[in-house]
Amino acid sequence: MHALPPGCGASRAVCVGCLRVIGLATLLAGVACGQGATTVQLPEFGVAIDAEGVVSRRRVDDPGGRLAAERAAAARSALPADVFRPSRLRKISLVGLDAALRRRAAAGTGPDPIERHLAGLTRLEFAFLYPDRGDIVLAGEAGGWCDDGLGRPVAVQTGRPVILLEDLCVALRAFWPGTPGPQSVGCSIDPAAEALERLRRFQRTVPAAVADHERAEVGGRIHAGLAAALGDANVRVFGVSAATHFARVLVEADYRMKLIAIDLEPPPVPLRTFLGGLEAAPRNTLQRWWFRPDEACLRVAGDGRACELVGRSVRLSTEDLAIGPDGRLVNRGGTASAAAKTFAGAFTARYPQIADRSPVFAQLRNAVDLLVVAAYMRREGWQTAIAWDGAALRDERTVPTATLPPPRRMPCAVNMVWKGRVLLAPAGGVSIEPEELIAADRVAVAPAGVLEERRSTSGGRPDGDRWWWD
């Protein structure tokens, strides 16, 4: 790659800090709906995807939270009181839910709102197997929900996103017993090879130094040139259908993290961004960040009949890249820059707080948890142990999941900073390998009796057709 000359020492000139590229991508964004008046600290950020799969950014402002409060009030009047009531541990019978969906399919109808939103479940915390009752039960925090203004259902009490039936089905179908299952699930968002070649050519036109009075004009020209050179980034989803809401969550989380990294979206919690932490950086560095499941995110009972999700579930990794001779991104080797590592470490450490404030990152955590539990259930043979075929949950005709335009490309986001001479093109994605996470050396065994007691005190499913309870 053509290298720019070292920093200029002239007192009336500044080195051109041309920065910064990012492959973008996908979906919604949100604000918590609260009881009474809700004060919105930040606008709602999100994206839209058109029929051609092109992603565009969205921003919705709600000063004072009036619209959020109205949505919360409407939800309170529309939902049954027992569903709306917050629950520290709501239980969901998968066998009961499957039976309810079969009845609806036989009647020629689809899932109702309570089924589509899993009775307001916002976090998957436990899964229990009951061989004597022929049931599998999921449990976690739940409560009433409302729309966040961008199409995302979030809990009225906490603002946390509700887990959707379609996302549960995607995870169960990916790791159902007897199916090979994907090696990994995730997405990749990267500049195209031809775009990187255009970027390399454009870089040769960037001046080594600029007079102070030309700084704004030249900076604008560089910004426009970078955007034109990079054009659209390519989006690739693997392991699940790109036309699912599940896939959109993966892509949006990756996209939104990168926007935060380069100061194009304010972080939801106090956090030193990558761009904010740059003092100096290696010339012509391209950063890659990607989400991976956190270490030791599953704790299991000794008898294999209960499991608990623990910890952050998600961590952010980083590496340095360069444009290779063929125009593709290659690993530079060695460690990532200090600013990149600091940002990745801070994002990981504060992930629980970030997820509480920005729903897409809570959705990513839920996606990881769903896949991990689905893979664990298959490994331990839970479905086989109760002779359950999960026909309705597995049937695309009963619970459609591939219903959205798949994200294919989006404009690369470009930001600039005058901090030395650094060109940064972040790439990245999400990579979730559930089978790796449930390996014996990665799973913690709970102290004897802890999860067994939790399982025994969760109570049986109510009589009749009820498939959830508190």
For residue 32, pLDDT over 60 is answered with no
- Strand partners of residue 146: 154
The tens digit of pLDDT for each residue in 61-101 reads 555 666 667 777 777 778 899 999 999 999 999 999 999 99
Q: Kindly report the CA angle at 336 between 330 and 342, in degrees rounded to 5? A: 145
Q: Which residue has the tokens 């939790």?
A: 454
The tens digit of pLDDT for each residue in 124-136 reads 999 999 999 999 9
Q: What is the pTM of this model?
A: 0.83
pLDDT of 378 reads 95
pLDDT of 358 reads 92
Size of the chain in residues: 470
Rounding to the nearest 10 degrees, give the CA dihedral for residues 280, 284, 285, 286.
130
Most confident of 97-101, 252-256, 407-411, 427-431: 97-101
Taking residues 313-323, report their average pLDDT: 79
For residue 314, pLDDT over 70 is answered with yes
Q: How many CB atoms lie within 10 A of CB 227?
A: 14
For residue 18, pLDDT over 80 is answered with no
What's the CA gap between 343 and 260, in Å, rounded?
10
The tens digit of pLDDT for each residue in 117-169 reads 999 999 999 999 999 999 999 999 999 999 887 789 999 989 899 999 999 99
- HEC secondary structure over the chain: CCCCCCCCCCCCEEECCCCCEECCCCCCCCCCCCCCCCCCCCCEEEEEECCCCEEEEEEECCHHHHHHHHHHHHHHHHCCHHHHCCEEEEEEEHHHHHHHHHHHHHCCCCCCHHHHCHHHECCCCEEEEECCCCEEEEEEEECCEEECCCCCEEECCCCCECCCHHHHHHHHHHCCCCCCCCCCEEEEEEECHHHHHHHHHHHCCCCCEEEHHHHHHHHHHHHHHHHHHHCEEEEEEECCCCCEHHHHHHHHHHHHHHHHHCCCCCCCCCCCCCCCCCCCCCCCCEEEEEEEECCCCEEECCCCCEEEECCCCEEEEEEEEEECCCCCEEECCCCCCHHHHHHHHHHHHCHHHHHHHCHHHHHHHHHHHHHHHHHHHHHHCHHHHCCCCCHHHHCCCCCCCECCCCCCEEECEECCCCCCCCCCCCEEEEEECHHHHCCHHHCEECCCCHHHHHHHCCCCCCCCCCCEEC
Taking residues 368-379, report their average pLDDT: 94
For residue 15, pLDDT over 70 is answered with no
What's the CA gap between 124 and 282, in Å, rounded?
42
